[in-house]
């Protein structure tokens, strides 16, 4: 990623910069790699980033979307996504959210519990509609060997435990305003090791066989998202390894004839095309440390404070080959966790320099808040 610093002139900091060219290349690779396999359909998990230009580019590329709230369903409809490519997950869908999605005739509700199924049946019935449903299952993929898997364990708020699946599928088939389409999974996020995806495939095969043995046929399988991106070497890996990712599913998941396989990729689509651009307010010398104090803080990019996440920090206006110094890079907010990096080796940094926090395209701007009465950072898409 290159930074067109001349074009940052006069833009109020902090702001999110998105590189259209890199996003387009990423979308092209996703389409190229997924289209190698019959029946593969990719949705973009819009919770990662809803910048209007980003959404428009994703829509133009032909991806569908995956929503986790009524607001997201509305954002996708407003961005022009066809309802036939919208799926809607979430453990707590409010009635108005369900009604909004029913009115739009979205492709599929990813239902996470038995009571949700009953409410959906009732609301669809009141409109004289039939809601298409995939049941979200917790595949209980072993988390001990794969620490990044946090949502796929059997006992958590997401999805339906495997031992209850039978009963709930049966229940769904009896409801007049529900059409049971298949199963949905989502095992976690920032997964770089392909093994958990392979384990997921085996679990899907097993559940498919069990359901088939009971005469249940499925039109769709949805394996969610979770593919990670390289936060440490963004320039070496500007585009995640979609080829290996899709191949894992092609090799290990036994799709039935005519069955569709859906993916919901969020982070991997938009992570690397975005950076938070901030201006250095002060360089403060302590007894043993030097602090670079930015005008961006945890209200603009909360991932370091919330998940101890790493974002590469670059001074994009200082001469890169000059002398270097170690700094703690911090924000202006009244919380000690408002720190972006400790002992960062940067070119000698001065007030007024521009600093980029890299790989911030996913779960960056969208998680910004007004904490401390700060404004939400704007987008600059070039």
**CB–CB of 54/47 below 8 Å?**
no
Give whichever of 226 and 341 is closer to ligand PLP, judged by the CB atom. 226
Please, what is the minimum distance in Å from the beta carbon of residue 66 to ligand PLP?
A: 5
- Positions in the binding site for ligand PLP (CB under 6 A): 45, 47-48, 66, 68, 89, 186, 189, 224-227, 264-268
Q: How far is the CB of 188 from ligand PLP (least distance, A)?
A: 7
Task: Quickly list H helices, the chain.
Answer: 20-34, 52-60, 70-78, 95-104, 114-126, 162-174, 195-213, 242-252, 267-270, 303-307
> Of 310, 362, 29, 70, which is closest to residue 189 (Cα–Cα)?
362
Choice between 55 and 330, CB closer to ligand PLP:
55
DSSP per-residue string spanning 279-331: EEEEEEE-SS-EEEEES--TTT--HHHHH-----EEESSS-TTS-EEEEEEE-
The helix/strand count (H/E) of the chain reads as 10, 17
Nearest of 254, 252, 247, 204 to residue 224 by alpha carbon: 204
Smallest distance, Å, CB 160 to ligand PLP? Answer: 13
- CB of 63: closest distance to ligand PLP in angstroms? 13
Pairing mode of beta strands 260-265, 220-222: parallel
In this complex, which beta carbon is closest to ligand PLP, that of residue 191 or of residue 318? Answer: 191
If the CB atoms of residues 304 and 331 are measured against ligand PLP, the closer one turns out to be 304
Q: Which of 223, 313 has the CB closer to ligand PLP?
A: 223
The two most distant CA atoms of the chain are separated, in Å, by 72
Is residue 115 helix, strand or coil?
helix
Q: What is the nearest approach in angstroms of ligand PLP to the Cβ of residue 381? A: 20
Report, in Å, the least distance between residue 48 CB and ligand PLP.
Answer: 5
Which residue, 172 or 227, has its beta carbon nearer to ligand PLP? 227
Write down the least CB distance from residue 90 to ligand PLP, Å. Answer: 8
Q: Are 162 and 138 in contact (CB under 8 A)?
A: yes
Which residue lies nearer to ligand PLP by CB, 227 or 294? 227
Name, in order, each residue with C-beta under 8 angstroms of 269's C-beta and a sequence gap of 6 or more. 23, 26, 27, 30, 44, 45, 48, 58, 63, 362
Looking only at the bridges linking them, the beta strands covering 313-315 and 354-357 are: antiparallel
**Residue 355 φ then ψ, to 5°:** -120, 135
Q: How far apart are CA 379 and CA 382, in angstroms?
A: 10
Residue 14: cis peptide before it, omega within 30 degrees of 0 = yes
Q: Tell me 12's DSSP state.
A: P
Q: How far is the CB of 154 from ligand PLP (least distance, A)?
A: 17
| Beta strand 86-88 pairing with 313-315 | unpaired
| Least gap, CB of 21 to ligand PLP (angstroms) | 22
Closer CB to ligand PLP, residue 48 or residue 355? 48
Of 22 and 355, which CB lies nearer to ligand PLP in the complex structure?
22
Q: Which residues pair with 66 in a beta bridge?
A: 45, 87
Closest approach of Cβ 152 to ligand PLP, in Å? 11
Question: Is 124 or 271 the residue whose CB approaches ligand PLP more closely?
Answer: 271
């Amino acid at each position: 990623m290159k930074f067109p610093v001349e074009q940052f002139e006069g833009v109020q900091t902090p702001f999110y910069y998105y590189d259209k060219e890199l996003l387009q290349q990423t979308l092209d690779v996703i389409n190229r790699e997924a289209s190698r396999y019959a029946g593969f359909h990719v949705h973009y998990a819009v919770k990662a980033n809803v910048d209007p230009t980003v959404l428009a580019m994703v829509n133009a590329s032909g991806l569908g979307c995956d929503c986790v709230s009524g607001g997201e369903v509305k954002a996708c409809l407003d961005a022009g996504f066809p309802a036939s490519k919208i799926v809607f997950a979430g453990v707590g869908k409010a009635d108005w959210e369900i009604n909004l999605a029913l009115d739009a005739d979205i492709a599929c509700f990813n239902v996470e519990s038995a009571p949700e199924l009953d409410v959906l049946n009732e609301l669809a019935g009141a409109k004289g509609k039939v809601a298409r449903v995939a049941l979200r299952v917790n595949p209980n993929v072993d988390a001990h060997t794969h620490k990044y898997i946090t949502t796929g364990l059997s006992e958590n708020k997401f999805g339906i435990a495997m031992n209850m699946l039978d009963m709930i599928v049966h229940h769904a088939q009896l409801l007049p305003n529900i059409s049971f389409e298949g199963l949905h999974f989502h095992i976690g996020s920032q997964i770089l090791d392909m093994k958990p995806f392979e384990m997921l495939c085996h679990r899907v095969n097993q559940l498919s066989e069990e359901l088939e043995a009971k005469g249940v046929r499925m039109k769709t399988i949805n394996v969610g998202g979770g593919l990670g991106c390289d936060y440490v070497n963004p320039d070496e890996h500007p585009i995640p390894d979609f080829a290996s990712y899709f191949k894992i599913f092609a090799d290990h998941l036994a799709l039935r004839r005519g069955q569709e396989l859906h993916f919901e990729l969020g982070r991997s689509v938009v992570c690397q095309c975005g950076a938070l651009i901030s201006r250095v307010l002060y360089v403060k010398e302590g007894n043993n440390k030097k602090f670079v104090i930015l005008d961006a803080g945890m209200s603009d990019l909360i991932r370091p404070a919330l998940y101890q996440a790493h974002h590469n920090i670059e001074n994009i206006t200082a001469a890169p080959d000059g002398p270097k110094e170690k700094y703690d890079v911090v924000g202006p907010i009244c919380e000690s966790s408002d720190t972006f990096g400790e002992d960062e080796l940067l070119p000698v940094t001065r007030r007024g320099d521009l600093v980029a926090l890299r790989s911030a395209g996913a779960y960056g701007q969208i998680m910004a808040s007004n904490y401390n009465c700060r404004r939400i950072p704007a987008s600059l898409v070039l």
